[in-house]
Amino acid sequence: MNLPYAEPFRIKMVEEIYQSTREERERWLKEANYNLFNLRSSHVYIDLLTDSGTGAMSDRQWSALMTGDESYAGSRSFEQLQKTVEKITGFKYLLPTHQGRAAENVLFSVLVKEGDVVPGNSHFDTTKGHIEFRKAHAIDCTIDEAFDINDLHPFKGNINLEKLEEVYKSHPKENIPFCLITITCNSSGGQPVSLENMKAVKALSDQYGIPVFFDSARFAENAYFIKKREAGQENRSIKEICKEIFSYGDGMTMSSKKDGLVNIGGFIALNNEEVFRKASNFTIIYEGFITYGGMAGRDMAALAVGLDEATEFAYLESRISQVEYLGNKLIEYGIPVQKPIGGHAVFIDSLNFLPNVSREEYPAQTLGLEIYKEAGIRTVEIGTLLADRDPDTRENRYPKLELVRLAIPRRTYTNNHMDYIAAAIKNVYERREEIAKGYKITWEPEILRHFTVQLEKA
């Protein structure tokens, strides 16, 4: 008989987690002003808030920590990281940062100015925040199929070339610093971008003289989907596909806390020496010297190993198969989720899940709170709270999808945990008709409000 699938690793250390009562969770939510970011981690049983920096490192990575070179300048660990990044991406200039949003801050300080527009495929929260903080505008050019949860398009992260060309035609070249391709596209459900689409975006952008950059937090997962879904790619290695991906860009930002398999870190990688030199100055101002940029040598050493491990097929198959396992469980229970299942998370459509909660009362946030109350599972809203207010009108922006993201940490939970999560959400779904009221804002900051917003019951 054929052998069943088993994970390509074994567990070496465990961490105890506390299973609370519903009464405790109700009290903790009120104390947290109904913002899941404000909960203590000790009050969370299964934490699906993010896959960023929450995964488990390998024995090779822990070993690399002990070899870290903590020299302020010219660190050996930096050299190791730089060689690894160039081998995987082809980019020769590297600027480490303490995490992905720091990489955006440094790069955008060089490239983005007031009045600019930055087209792309559903920019994520910090990306859009850094653009709008500079009084520029992010323009979403994602294909329409991305916003139909039941459409099985294999590459829902793709950019619509007609939308992109309209941006290029309707704005002066000097006001379009770059096109940004997010891989995978988090805001549309962890959906991948095809090689064919990347190549076409690069060709169109070259025609108009516009650089292309990648938001690369989950580039390895994107490469896995290319190998599995795109014709002619099935016999190529993940590393070969990654090298081609980045050949269609002029540079990248990276949150290493995702596909770098580490708990902290990020970087910018480029081939343009002029941009590198300008960005180096901002790295020194905001992060640290250019050969550490806010990272300890030990963390750069672990990252170099993590990037190598993350671009191997066996790891990616294990990781993405677990996400798919949870997604299929929810589909089996009739839960409305974004399909096909994405690479790092399962995204629940809260508008279909909670039809009695108005959009003005934040149905995705309401669903996330109900899931926590049910079983101590922390998720995150990818909806109106995250979309924030229009920077000009200050009115709520209502995205096409109101999603609750179940982000799965890498190499952290077992499929028993996935079964528990699915059963808990099924319980909430069975009482969905009883949930008719949501929440209202009592306080919010000017930008990136979902991190610190305070709410009360409507």
Q: What is the pLDDT along the chain (458 residues), one digit of tens a residue?
A: 888 888 899 999 999 999 999 999 999 999 999 999 999 999 999 999 999 999 999 999 999 999 999 999 999 999 999 999 999 999 999 999 999 999 999 999 999 999 999 999 999 888 999 999 999 999 999 999 999 999 999 999 999 999 999 999 999 999 999 999 999 998 888 999 999 999 999 999 999 999 999 999 999 999 999 999 999 999 999 999 999 999 999 999 999 999 999 999 999 999 999 999 999 999 999 999 999 999 999 999 999 999 999 999 999 999 999 999 999 999 999 999 999 999 999 999 999 999 999 999 999 999 999 999 999 999 999 999 988 898 889 999 999 899 999 999 999 999 999 999 999 999 999 999 999 999 999 999 988 899 999 999 99
Q: What is the torsion angle, in degrees rounded to the nearest 10, for the CA atoms of residue 280, residue 284, residue 287 and residue 289?
A: 90
Nearest of 34, 107, 46, 26 to residue 421 by alpha carbon: 46
CA quadruple 238, 243, 244, 248: dihedral sign: positive
* Length of the chain measured in residues: 458
Nearest to 262 by CA among 442, 52, 122: 52
How far is Cα 258 from Cα 273, in angstroms, rounded to an integer? 27
Q: Which of 116, 125, 299, 349 is catalytic?
A: 125
| Known catalytic membership, residue 217 | yes
Considering the candidates 5, 9, 72, 398, report the single residue annotated as catalytic.
72
* 258 given a catalytic annotation: yes
pTM comes to 0.95
Instruction: Indicate which residue of 43, 202, 258, 417 is catalytic.
Output: 258
Catalytic: which of 64, 136, 217, 310?
A: 217
Contact 171, 208 (CB under 8 A): no
354 membership: H or E segment, kind and range: none
Distance in angstroms (rounded) separating the CA atoms of residues 368 and 373? 9
Beta strands in 194-288 (DSSP E): 212-215, 251-255, 266-270
Q: Report yes or no: 69 and 76 within 8 Å, Cβ to Cβ.
A: yes
Q: Are 428 and 404 in contact (CB under 8 A)?
A: no
Whether 215 sits among the annotated catalytic residues: the reply is yes
Beta strands in 190-298 (DSSP E): 212-215, 251-255, 266-270
Q: Sheet holding 345-349: strands in order across?
A: 345-349, 403-407, 380-382
The question of whether 450 is a catalytic residue gets the answer: yes
